[in-house]
Every structure is written in C-alpha cells, then in structure tokens.
Structure 1
Amino acid sequence: MDASSKIWAGVRAGVRWLAPPEQWSRRRFAGEATVALLLAVLAAGLGQLLEASALAVVTESVAIAVLSLMRRRLPATVLAVTAALTPVGNGFLPLMMAAGWSAGRRITGAGRAVAAFAGAYVLCVTVSLVDTWSPSTALTVVLLTTLYFLAVAVVPGLASRYWTQRRTLLHTLQERNGQLLRERAMVAGQARLKERQRIAQDMHDSLGHRLALISVHTGALEVDRELTPRQREVVGVLREASVTAMHELREVVGILRDGVEASVPASVDESGRAARGTAGIAALVEAARAAGNAVELKYSGEARPLAAAADHAAYRIVQEALTNAYKHAPGAPITVDLRYEPDSVVVEIVNGAASDAIGEVVSGGQGLTGLHERARLVGGMVHAGPVPDGGFRVAGVLPYGIGEAPPFVDASDPFRQQSEKAPSGDGGRVNGWTVSEREWAMDGRGGHSRSSGVVMGCAIALGVVMLLGVAVLVGVFFLVGSIDKGMIEPSEYESIKVGTAEKTVRDRLPSGDTIATAGLDGKGPKEPEGSRCLVLMSSEVGESLESEPVFRFCFADGKLVEKKSYEVKR
C-alpha cells in the first residue's frame, strides 16, 4: 500500500470514528458539515473585522470547524477546549453556544454534566485572568467571565438538556402506551378465546348429544321391516341430514375453539360429510341447480389457500346469499363469482329480479348481519344491496392472511401513535414522524400535556433570564463605578507638570485599579528606565473604534519624570 492509500485509509477511519454510519445519516452529516462551515466563515469574518493576521484567521477558522464536527462525539472535551480558547480568540462565541447545547443534551448523567460545565468554567476564568492579569481587576474579570459563561454556555446547555429529557419522556410514554395497548389486545384475545371455548363446549355437549340420538334412532328406524319404501327413503334423508349436521357442528366447534377446522378421527364415518369452504361452493351450486334454480358459477384468478375461518366465511356467504335468493326471488337467475385477487378473495352473488309476485317471506332477519360480523372477525368486509335492474347483490372481500384482524386503535389514545416501530437514534423518527412533529400533532389530552410542558419550559427560561439580568445589572453597576478609577479629562492631563512630586500627582489622579484599563500597559512608547508608570484612559473618544486614547504618567525618585498622550489599539 502506497503512502496516498494509507493517508486516505486513515481519513476514512477518522470519519467513521467521528461519524459512525449507524448513528449518522448522510443528511445529518451534511447538516453538521454545513454548521461547521458557517461557524468557520463567521469566525473568519470577525477576524477580518478586528484586523487579525491572515494566519490567525485561517488557524482559528479551521480549529472552529474541527471542534464543531467533534462536539457530538466528544461533547465534554469540545466544551472545555472552546471555553479555554474563547477568551483569547475572536470568533469562538458562536461555537461556545453550540458546544454548550451539545454538551447539555449528550453528556449522560447530571453529575457528569455538572462536572463538565464546572471544568469548562474554571478553564474560561483561568485563561481570562492570565490574559488580562491585574490584581486590582481580578474580581471584575471573574464576575464578567461568569456572566459571559452563564449566557453563552450554561443557558444553552440547560435548554438543550430540558428539551432532550422531554423527548426522552415522550419516547418512554410512547413505548409504554404501545405496550399497554398490546397487553390490552392480548387480554381481550384471551377473553374471546375463553368465551369461544365455553360456547364450543356447550354446543358440543348439548347439540352433539341430540344430533347423535337423532342419528342413532333414524338409523335403527331405516332398517325397520314394517316401513314402506317411501318411508325408508324419508328416514334415510333424515339420517343423512343428521350426519351432515354432526360434521358441520364438529367444524364449527373446532373453529370456535382453536380458529381451525377440527380434525376428524379415523373411526368417524365421513360418507355424509360435505365439503366446507371454497371447495364446497361448487356443491352448493349443484344442489341449487338440482332444486330447479338457474345458477352460474364463475372462477377467475389463481386459486390460493385461505385461513380456516376465512375459508368458512366464504362458504357461508355463498350459502346465505343463495338462501336469500331462493326466498326473495324464486326462479330468478343467480350468478356466483369467485375471484382470487392479489391481496384477497372476492365472493360475489348476484340474483335477478323475481319473475312473479311473492307473498310474505318468513326470515329471521339475522343472516346478513351474521355475514358482516363473520367477515369482520377475519379482517374482511361484506356489502349487500340492490342492483339497478331490480335484483340483489351480496359481495364479500376476505384476506388471505392467517388469524383474525388486528384490533383497531382506540381513538381516545392521547398519543395517536400506536406504532410497532420503536424510536431510533437521537430523536429519531417514529412511524414516519419526528418527535417534534408528534408534539405539534397532539390535541385533546395531548395538547394539555404539551401546554404544561411549554409553560414549565417558559418558566425555567424566564427564571434563568431574570437571574442573568440581575447579574448583568450588578456587573454594569460595578463596571460603571470602576470606570472613574481609570479615566481623567484631557484638561487634567494638561494641568499636571513634569517634575511635580509623585505624591502630589497621585493624590490628584485616580488609582487606575479598574478592569477598564486592563491591557493598556506596555502598548505605548518605551517607558523611562527605572520608572513606574500609571496608564489612564481619556474621557474623549478616539479617532476610530479600534483605538483608545490614553495618558501615561511615569514616576522615578519620588517625582513625575514623564507624561505621554497616545492611542492604544484594543
């Protein structure tokens, strides 16, 4: 491997460490790169405005871009480094806010977060004191640095941590709500299964016993020699009907108990057992034709197996529709259409208008209602209604899937988010929605929760802002009060003569112990050998905003040996 390949391999490894593919999508990486570029450009602009050297501007911009990209991976480290560089750099203020935001949300544990921010604060204060060291201004520097750090690091960190904890709470509530819904569905399913098993047992014990007695007695009566051939034929029909009823009861009991068709022991006579499900539709049609009805059966699509309950439902839909056609439109042509669609099977029965007027028809009125319920239980639907030519149409749509339809989501759910997909990543998406979108989509009780959270967040922010306001007012008060200790009028400077006793001059001049004069020493002309100098500001404004007019008084051997007036670039 040549040197260039090794370099590129190292770069790729560094990128994977900085932005792991399982945590960083391309969209997120592009966003972070854009933020880093904007911070670097902003720092370069500030450096140019403050007339910094080109090398310093480039170095600072590159450092800011690198730190911005690393703030997700190393939040505490980036916060500490940024806090140490902010007092001596020109454009680290925006990065400080971004680092505080990232540290607040990404440092796990309150203790570790407090330690990270405390360490960053100590570094920021220490560098500020070293950069502008003066025993008389140390307290003022600490106060102003504290206010600065609270405003640009602590406040974004607190806001970010509150927002992240709120999102975490929302994720937890989502998962708990989904778990409760699943548990409720399981309990309801178990209750339904238990009730179905009870009904199946009752049907088996009562109807099974009665049908068995009918089958035994009709079987014995059929071989009675005293019966005429016509009577034997009628008794045989009754016996076959009872045997068929026994088979149907076994199937219904099996479906009620386990959701599948009951297995038939080898010792049971299957001679009278009619096919149930889609396989038995042809037999229903043949029986209808044998009774003198004009029935046409059509198939379309590739046949596919259905679940036992759905297969049985298809058979019952055809059976009930044919029965209704016999009752309400005797003699009318009937068409039975069985279509296998890609995602479901469609059973459609259409009969024409009745050819003759019919009298009152005796009906239980529960046939179509039962079909609707039967189809709903397997996740399908049934439509029944008249057709334009005066006939009637019954159509059922049944899925191929196994088992019953999943329970419907409760409309009163305050989160409106029963999703099988768990939240992923940092504020990842849930069922196609981001957490922020979910918060804004809530209403009803969810809206009340949102408003409570917003009120709490506003109260915290208001408290922090008030605390900062009080601190700023105190700082401004001390700063304004200390300016008098480092400023004189130009007329005062002119009235003081070289050679005057040092004590007399110092009694007339302020002490200069203020942060306002910090950084003015050593920036003017060379001081006289062996002298001690006092640098004060002028009450007049300089020629430009970048320079500060100052007065310097140098003392030696107990008297004023030199005074100078010049401008210093801040």
Structure 2
Amino acid sequence: MWPLRRIVGESFLSLALMLLAVGAGLADDKTKAQAVGIGLAAGLLSLLRRGLPASVLLAAAAGSAPFFGFAPLLLVVAWSAGRRIEGLGRAGGVFGLAYGLSLGLSVALEPHVSFSLLAIAGMFMLVVILVPGLAGRYWSQRRTLTDTLHEYNAQLLREREMIFGQARMLERQRIAQDMHDSLGHQLALIAVHTGALEVDRELTGQQREAVGVLREASVAAMHELRDVVGVLRDGADSPRTQPGTGTGGEDPGPASRGVAGVESLAETSRRAGTPVEIRRTGEVRPLAPTADHAAYRVVQEGLTNAHKHAPGASITIGLRYEPDSLVVEVANGAVKGPVSSGVASGGQGLTGLAERARLVGGMVHAGPTAEGGFRLAGVLPYTSAGEGFPSSPAGDAKPTFVAPPDDFRAQNRAGSAGDSDPVIDWNGLPKELAKAVNRTKRGNGIAIGCGVVALVAVVLVIAVVVAGVFLVREADKAMIEPGQYDAVKIGQSEASVRDRLPDGDSFLNTGPGDGAPPEPDGAQCLTLLSTEIGSSWDAEPVFRFCFRDGKLIEKKSFETA
C-alpha cells in the first residue's frame, strides 16, 4: 500500500503529465479528442511506471514518435526505469530497444527525411531516453550502496558488542572467583571464630551479646558476598536465601535487601549498643527493585559511616514517602568522644552510592548538620526505566532529579529497555548522530540532484548549439532574401542565376507546397524559401525560378500552406 504522501505526489505528477500531453497535442494540430486521448494515456502510463518500468518505457518510446505529447512523459519514465530495472544487461537491452523503437518509428513515419534531420532526432532521443535513465540508475545504485554500508556497519557494531560482552563476562567471572576465594575464606574464618567465642563460658552476658552481633554480621556478609558473586557470574540477581536456610542453619540476615530490610539494619545497630530510631511519614508505596535496593544501601552506608566516624552517637533513620519519590535519610548526632583512627575506610562508599542513585533517576546528598552531626539523604523515584512498577499518581509529572546530559537512561533509552537495538533501529541513535546522518543523506541527495541537472543541462546545451549550427547551414541552402529575388531578371542564363542562388538541397525545403501555381510546361523549377514572415501562421512565403533551354523563363513569389 502506498502512503498518503506518495499517493498525493503521484496524483499531481500524473495530472501534470496529462495536461502537458494535451497541450502538446493541441499544438501539434491534433483534434481535441486526440489530444485528450494522448493525455489520458500519458496519465495512465505515469501511474504504471513503478510496477511495469520496462513495459511502460517501451510504450512511451513508441508513442513519442507519432505523438509529441509523450515527450515529457518519456523523461519521467526513463528516470523511473533506470532506477527499477534490475540487472545491467537487462537495463541496457530495454533502453537500447526503447531508443531504437523510438528512432525507427520516427523514420518510418517520415520516410523521406534527410540524414541530417535523422541525426538531430537521434540526438534528441538520446537526451530524452538515455540521459535520464543513466541518472536514475546511478541514483539507485548509490542508494543501494549506502544501505549496504549501513547494514555492514550495523553488523560490525553488533559483533563488537558481542566481543565486548564476552570479554566483560570473562572479567566478571575472574573477579567473582577472586572475591570468593579471598573474601569468602576470611569471612568464613570470622564466622567460625566468633561462633566458638560466643559459647565461651568466661564471657559476660554483654560480651557474649557483642560477639553474637559480630557473628551475625559476618554471616550476613557471607550471604551478601555470595549474592554479589552470583551477579558477577550470571549477570542477574541470584535467588535470595530465606531465613533459616543458610549453611548450618544460620540466619543469613534480612530476607530482603530493600526498604523492608531497614528494620533489620536498625536492630543490628541497636544490639551493638547504638540507639537507632526509625521515622516513617506518608503513605507507603512500592518501589522498583533497583530503587528499593538503592534505598537499602543508603541506610546501610549511613549506619556504617555513623558507626565508624561517630561511635555511640544516636542515629535517626527517616523514610518519607513523597508524592513522586521516597526520601531516605540517615542522620547521626554529634560525636561524644574521640574517634579511633584504626577503622579502615576506602572513601568510595558515597561515590558509589551517588552513582547507584543516578542510575535509577535519583540523587544523593551528604553533609554536616547544624547540631554538629552528619546527614546522608537519598531521593529515589518510585519507578525506574524499563521496570513495570506503579507510576506516580494521576496528574503528577514524572520526576527528574538529574540533568538530562547526566542521565544514563536518557542517553540510551533503547538499550535500557532491552527491546530494541540502537544499531538496527536508527531512531534509537543519539539526536546529534541522527541529525548528522540525515543532514549527510540530504546533502548527498542535493549534490546528486545538482550533478544530474548539470549533466542534463550540458548535454542539452551541446545539442542546442549543434542543432543551431546545423539549422543555420541548412537555412543558407534553402532560403534567400527578397533583394536576391529582385536582382534576378527573366532571360538571364540558368548558370548565372544558379551561381547567385543556393541549390535548395535542404530538409527545410520540402517543395512548393499546397496552393502553388502550376509550373510552365517543359521547365525545371527551383523553389526557395523567403527569409520574410508570411501573412499568417499557416502561410509560408516562397520564391520559384523556372528554367528552360538554359534560360530563366519565369520567377514567381507566392505563399503556400
């Protein structure tokens, strides 16, 4: 099915060719019925040129010989056939047949045409048929080559992505193996030694409780390490182990590393001797898995920093459900005493946390409070790109927490959803690259069009110059001025008269024409055209000189049709 734009364009083109054919038919002294018939045939052939390029080209070439109204149609059909006829040999054969058919019918309809006129007709057909065909074929081949290069480039990009993906997977497996062999072993030793220390009878109750907290923390760290190793190896979250199903019947820690696990984090800190308060405001709403896990990490990072840098200070955890996002806060009070400098700190926790929040469309803020404490806050949207979780309430706009240039999802939305390939779907390209591609294609199209027009114009100019020179020469053979006619006197010798006049051997000199007076008996007459204009469009002024017995016996000036 044609799109609406093509239907409108084809309709206007067909109508224009139809009107041109009717006008050319009337100018060629055709009847109104014949001119209308030529126009309808031209309009029908214009509509069929896409489906039957070779047949329509041959039909238009055959019709252009008897009907001049087919000449505009022949230009359009030749361009279209050059684009659509497949195979160089087939295209050459069709265009050669069309050229020979048009030229042959022209000669058949005018059997007494001179060789010079035949050469002009052949050049005209060459410009009308072969030049548009070559231009159309070049445009089609260039477009095919461009599409092939796009496909090849897309294949190369896909192969590169596959290679990168395989290398990334191998590196993740290596990292996972190193983490499992090193950290797993150390955490297992910590869990075993703290478990043995917890049942030591010499420990007081408070010491035994502190050792229990250490043991549970080491066990939870082991399970989190196992999850991280699973993600690195498989590229997806590994199944969560439910409470009581860990090795040796140990509780692996919180059942969910999301907002639901915040209470467990707070309880662990309370058992370590730190007062922790949780404040919840607003209507509880679900988050996307990535945002839910980010909220858990914000609380975990805040508690860890508070324990390291402000031991013993009270901690407040805030979960504030706003209309468009969840605000997670962890604030601790002022430090009550000197802080030990023996705690290891990588300095990358807040940086990684900010990156995690940015990837889900949120942001993180950290800074001191007015009371001398420290506050860590994260703003996390309820929805994430490509995740089918509830959207914000009706009428609320989707939140934007980061600037568009820094938003990873805005830069590659097609890739985040996983449903389309930006290499295959050109609409998934970045805007700058898409504009550059479109601008390049548009510029190349304009350059090709200008080149084709220039080529056709050069050929036409050459043809006009050659035809003009040829017509001037032919006119010198067939035309004289009235002064030359008056200078010739009856009774002069035939040789002297013929020396002063052209021989009249030209395709422009077609004879006396209709309405010429009869020639004298036994005389040989020379008919020449006048350089003057006739009394009407249908009248042609003619000079005739008749000779007999080597002398000029008559000269006449008259008009013929």
TM over 0.5: yes
Distance, in Å, in 2 between the alignment partners of 1:406 and 1:183 is: 23
Counterparts in 2 of 1:187-336, with a 5 A limit? 187-263=163-239, 268=247, 269-278=249-258, 279-285=260-266, 291-298=274-281, 300=283, 303=286, 306=289, 312-324=293-305, 331=314, 333-336=316-319
Which position in structure 2 is the counterpart of 1:566?
559
> Residue 481 of structure 1: SS of its match in structure 2?
helix
C-alpha spacing 1:392/1:252, structure 2 compared with 1 (3 Å): closer
Quick check: 2:478–2:509 contact (8 Å CA) kept in 1? yes
Comparing 549-558 with 249-258, greater Cα deviation is found at 549-558
Q: Which amino acid aligns with 1:336?
A: L
Which secondary structure state, in structure 1, belongs to the residue aligned with residue 280 of structure 2?
strand
Q: Deviation at 1:261?
A: 3.1
> CA offsets per residue over residues 527-555 of structure 1, 9 Å max, x none?
77999986532221223456533346789
Give deviations 1:180-238, integer Å, cap 9, x for gaps: 33333332222222211111111111111222222223333333445454444333333
1:481 aligns with 2:473: yes
1:353 to 1:540, Cα distance in 2 relative to 1, 3 A: farther
- Deviation per CA, 1:417-451, whole angstroms, max 9, x where unpaired? x945568xxxxx99899x99866624xxx99xx68
Q: Which residue of 1 aligns with 2:140?
A: 164
Instruction: After TM superposition, give the deviation of residue 459 of structure 1 in Å.
Output: 6.8
Cα drift, residue 493 of structure 1: 5.5
SS of the counterpart of 2:69? coil
Aligned identity (percent) is 43
- Comparing 146-155 with 507-516, greater Cα deviation is found at 507-516
Amino acid in the other structure paired with 2:135: A
- Which of 81, 84, 89 is equivalent to 1:111? 89
Are the equivalent residues in 2 in contact too, given 1:101–1:156 (CA < 8 A)? yes
The equivalent residue for 1:441 is 439
Q: What is residue 354 of structure 2 aligned with on the other side?
A: 372
503 and 471 in structure 1: CA distance in 2 versus 1, 3 angstrom threshold: same
SS at match of 2:329: strand
Mapped to 2, the partners of 1:513 and 1:478 lie a distance apart of: 14
Between 480-489 and 152-161, report the one with greater CA deviation: 152-161
Q: What amino acid maps onto 1:295 in structure 2?
A: I
Q: By how many angstroms is 1:507 displaced?
A: 7.3
Per-residue deviation at 1:241? 2.2
- Any idea what SS the aligned residue of 1:515 has? coil
- In 2, Cα distance between the equivalents of 1:157 and 1:488? 42
Q: Secondary structure at the match of 1:550?
A: strand
Of residues 197-206 and 318-327 in structure 1, the stretch that sits farther from structure 2 once superposed is 318-327
Of the candidates 365, 369, 377, which is equivalent to residue 393 of structure 1?
377
Q: How far is 1:64 from its partner? A: 1.5
Say whether residues 1:91 and 2:69 are aligned partners.
Answer: yes
| CA–CA distance in structure 2, aligned partners of residues 117 and 333 of structure 1 | 87
Partner of 1:426: none
Q: Distance in 1 between matches of 2:465 and 2:36?
A: 37
Q: Is the 8 A contact 2:63 2:70 kept in 1?
A: yes
Q: 1:556 to 1:140 in 2, by over 3 A?
A: same
Aligned residue in 1 for 2:399 = none
> Aligned-pair distance for 1:388?
11
- RMSD, aligned α-carbons: 4.7
TM-score (norm: length of structure 1): 0.73
Local SS of the residue matching 1:294: strand
Query: Offset at 1:82?
Result: 2.2
Q: Distance in 2 between matches of 1:383 and 1:546?
A: 93
1:121·1:149 contact (CA, 8 Å) conserved in 2? yes
- Answer yes or no: is the 8 Å Cα contact 1:124–1:145 preserved in 2: no
Secondary structure, in 3 states, of the residue corresponding to 1:399? coil
Contact 2:295 2:328 in 1 (8 A): no
The alignment partner of 1:277 has SS state of coil
CA displacement, residues 320-341 of structure 1 (integer Å, 9 cap, x when unaligned): 2454567579547542246797
Query: Is 1:548 equivalent to 2:540 in the alignment?
Result: yes
Alignment check: 8 A CA contact 2:516 2:558 kept = no
2:161 matched to which residue of 1? Answer: 185
Shift of 1:28: 0.4
Secondary structure at 2:327's aligned position in 1? strand
Assess if the C-alpha contact under 8 Å between 1:534 and 1:554 holds in 2: yes
Amino acid at match of 1:237: V
Q: State the distance in 1 between where 2:340 and 2:556 align.
A: 125
Amino acid across the alignment from 1:110: L
245 and 288 in structure 1: CA distance in 2 versus 1, 3 angstrom threshold: closer
For residues 63-82 of structure 1, what are the structure 2 equivalents within 5 Å? Answer: 63-82=41-60
Distance in 2, matches of 1:374 and 1:540, equals 94
Instruction: For residue 125 of structure 1, report the CA deviation from its aligned partner.
Output: 1.5
Cα distance in 2 for partners of 1:144, 1:124 equals: 13
Does the CA-based 8 Å contact 1:383-1:395 persist in structure 2? Answer: yes
Distance in 1, matches of 2:118 and 2:354, equals: 78
Distance change >3 Å, CA 189–CA 230, structure 1 → 2: same
| Structure-2 residue corresponding to 1:53 | 31
Provide the rounded CA distance (Å) in 1 between the counterparts of 2:473 and 2:369. 96
- Give the Cα separation in 1 of the matches to 2:183 and 2:175: 11
User: Comparing 365-374 with 543-552, which one deviates more in the overlay?
Assistant: 543-552
Give the distance between the partners of 1:163 and 1:142, measured in 2 at CA.
Answer: 31
Cα deviation, residue 36, structure 1: 0.9
Q: How far did 1:352 drift?
A: 6.5
Cα distance in 2 for partners of 1:159, 1:437 equals: 27
**1:513 and 1:77, CA in 2 relative to 1: closer, same or farther beyond 3 A?**
farther
RCO higher in 1 or 2 (8 Å CA, sep ≥ 6)?
1
User: Where do 5+ consecutive residues of structure 2 fail to align?
Assistant: 389-407, 413-420
> What whole-Å deviation, never above 9, does each CA across 1:80-110 have from its counterpart, x for those lacking one?
2222323432433322221222122222233
**C-alpha separation between the residues in 1 aligned to 2:80 and 2:329?**
68
Q: What do the CA deviations read for 1:53-104 (whole angstroms, capped 9, x no partner)?
A: 2112211211121121122222222222222323432433322221222122
Contact 1:352 1:389 in 2 (8 A): no
Aligned positions, number: 515
* Distance apart, 1:408 and its partner CA: 5.9
Residues 525 and 280 of structure 1, relative CA distance in 2, 3 Å threshold: farther
- Bigger shift: residues 41-50 or 194-203: 41-50
